[in-house]
Amino acid sequence: MKKKLVSRGLSLVLAGALLTGCAQGAAPSETGSKSEAAETAGAEETVTIELMHDEAEEDRIKALQEIIDAFMAENPDITVKQLPVSEDGFETKVKTLISGGEMPALVASSASLMQMLDEEEMINTAANKEVVEEFGRDKFYDQILQMLNSTDGEGMIGVPITAWVSGIWYRKDLFEEKGLKAPETWEDILTAAKAFHDPAGKMYGILFGTEESAVSQQNFQMIAGSNGAELFDADGKPQFNSPEMKEAMAFYKDLYQYTLPGSNGVTQIRDAMVGGNTAMCTFSSYIMGPLYRAGMADKIGYCVPKNKNGAVFGSPSTYTISNTITPQETEAAKKFITWLLNDDMNIKLLHIAPGGPNPVLKSVAENPEYTSADVLKAYGEEAKKVPAAFDSLKVFGTQNGVTNPSAGSIINAMIIGKTINQILVQGQDLDEAMDKAQADMEKIVNR
């Protein structure tokens, strides 16, 4: 088993894929990392599996425990123990487990983290794939599954349970007042940004990521993807300085004239939209909750940006099965994941933070029980557009269902976020900055 010990910046992996997701919460639970089978005289063997996850907020731990308790009531031969770990402690915990060659039966986190665990050969990719195949591949949004194929193309790095998705969020009422089209095409986005931009009145045409961070990279992937840009060519070589990618960056630079100057990230984007200081922003579905609480849900529209095609960025909350456990524990883990995919349990998970996580299962997206949440009802028909956007998912490094093995390292190095900030905020020449980024990516691939 290879042991790279996460030398490529795991902290950036976690920051990138957990954008706008969980807030920091409780410290790691001290229950150990090795499952034990308990056996009493005259009783059947009980299999104990541990679930390590980063939903460490008290309300989310409690909600998950209710689901676990329901599972154990129907499966008395299986005990599931939570190992909630705060975002701050997750990196250290994962490193420690990898170095020891052991993992809990189940790990729940981002797709990016699963890619890293796959590189470290800590995942039972065959078992994950079996869960999906046995449950029914056609029940999932296909683009979500394509993100989770292992690099060898034989298995899956995890099973998607829920997912968030980004897009263009806009004030329908303000757009109607100005007689503007919904901000779907590049032309319509730029036209609206110009029309609303009034810095003297503390109103900006659009808010999007411009800082050296994951949010900037994720926002840009939507725009680049909508122009048909891919991070790698057919031979697996980086092509960040391709014409399609430079066209996308040039459009981004045009938009920057109509945003809040400087390095903006999650907080600035969210606060401007909620505070009425912009009529349009790029953000994940986790903005639905704050806008709802501000009483703005009925005024909000959602668009998938498009130029040559439509494209959004998103990331699933993924459960993966460790390859350091016994066959009995593996079967128990498969059974528990399948339980979470049943409509009733899946909806309970989604309703922990309605609007933020979205269904990865088509049946759940159409289930009246799911759409009955107050947050979703407040958005009306717009809420249905959000999970449907998974069909337009475009993620750098994943092409035709195959993930380039260098994609994670390039994303984690934050090259794209730095380049965006250099061009937009620092005023560097676009061609020079993108060519430099291209060279940096080639070094990663060739090392």
Question: pLDDT digit string (tens) for 72-114?
Answer: 999 999 999 999 998 777 767 887 888 888 899 999 988 878 8
Pair of tokens at residue 174: 């303000």
pTM for this one?
A: 0.83
307 and 324 co-located in one domain: no
Res. 324: pLDDT tops 60: yes
299 and 388 co-located in one domain: no
15 and 66 co-located in one domain: yes
Residue 5 maps to a domain:
no
Tell how strand 398-399 and strand 300-303 pair up.
unpaired
151 and 195 co-located in one domain: no
Q: Of 306, 315, 318, nearest to 396 (Cα)?
A: 315
Number of H helices, E strands in the chain: 21, 10
- Half-sphere exposure of residue 108, counting CA atoms within 13 Å on the CB side? 26
pLDDT digits (tens, 9 = 90+) for 379-435: 999 998 999 999 899 989 888 778 888 887 888 889 999 999 999 999 999 999 999
pLDDT digits (tens, 9 = 90+) for 341-360: 999 999 999 998 888 999 99
Residue 352 maps to a domain:
yes
Average pLDDT, the chain: 88
333 and 380 co-located in one domain: yes
97 and 142 co-located in one domain: yes
Pair of tokens at residue 242: 């391709």
DSSP state for residue 241 in the 8-state scheme: T
Residue 222 maps to a domain:
yes
Residue pair 124/326 in contact (Cβ under 8 Å)? The answer is no
82's CB contacts (< 8 A; 6+ apart) are 29, 50, 51, 53, 61, 64, 65, 68
57 and 21 co-located in one domain: yes
291 and 423 co-located in one domain: yes
Residue pair 78/105 in contact (Cβ under 8 Å)? The answer is no
Three-state DSSP class for 253? helix
Residue 223 maps to a domain:
yes
Give the burial string for 102-127 (b: 16+ CB within 10 Å, else e). bbbbbbbbbbbbbbbbbbbebbbbeb
256 and 378 co-located in one domain: no
DSSP state for residue 181 in the 8-state scheme: P
pLDDT digits (tens, 9 = 90+) for 203-246: 999 999 999 999 999 999 999 999 999 999 989 999 999 999 99
Q: Of 218, 282, 292, 276, nearest to 255 (Cα)?
A: 282
Q: What is the mean pLDDT of residues 325-337?
A: 97
CA atoms of 221 and 313, how far apart (whole Å): 7
180 and 238 co-located in one domain: yes
pLDDT above 70: percentage of residues in the chain:
90
Residue 102 maps to a domain:
yes
The CATH number covering residue 211 comes to: 3.40.190.10
Give pLDDT, residue 44. Answer: 58
What domain range is 225 assigned to?
Answer: 165-313+400-446
Identify the band that residue 291 occupies on the pLDDT scale cut at 50, 70 and 90: very high
Q: What is the mean pLDDT of residues 359-386?
A: 93
Pair of tokens at residue 18: 């957990």
Res. 39: pLDDT tops 60: no
148 and 79 co-located in one domain: yes
Identify the band that residue 9 occupies on the pLDDT scale cut at 50, 70 and 90: very low
Tell how strand 314-321 and strand 106-110 pair up.
antiparallel
Residue 2 maps to a domain:
no
Total structural domains in the chain? 2
More confident of the two residues 119 and 271: 271
292 and 264 co-located in one domain: yes
Residue 62 maps to a domain:
yes
CA atoms of 80 and 48, how far apart (whole Å): 6
